[in-house]
Amino acid sequence: MQFTFFREDTKENEQVDLQTWGWVVKYHDGRELHQFDFVSGLFHQFSEIDLTLPFIFQVVDLQGEKDPFTILYNPESMQLFFFYRKGILDVGGENSRKETVIIFGYKEDKTRNHFCIFPSGELVITNDLNLVHF
């Protein structure tokens, strides 16, 4: 399944493949923003989230097999982030492979709290991303 993403820089639509995980924002006024919007068929960027408002931020298994991971976002004390890190898992091993790890979390004061979802669905939580080997 593909979703349409409008690139501001080129003013053109681009097709994006559905992934296993995606984020959902649930604002307190009832509005929702889905990275992969199944109703409209649109792909939304993280930059479209209104970070000035409090909301519930979830990273959800789009196949519905695993429970979501949830952050209760407070814009007064937190800076939210979400990105992908591509790397080689089991480097040099029999099962060496390129994989994508989803990393999301928040910065509060000087501490960054990283939540890393591996392709297996395993969640690793750390305040030092250098400890996570990709």
35-92: pLDDT as tens digits: 999 999 999 999 999 999 999 999 999 998 999 999 999 999 999 999 999 877 666 7
Instruction: Tell me: pLDDT of 27 over 70.
Output: yes
- The pTM for the full model equals 0.88
CB atoms within 10 A of CB 99: 14
CB burial of 76-87 (b: ≥16 within 10 Å; e: otherwise) equals: eebebebeeeee
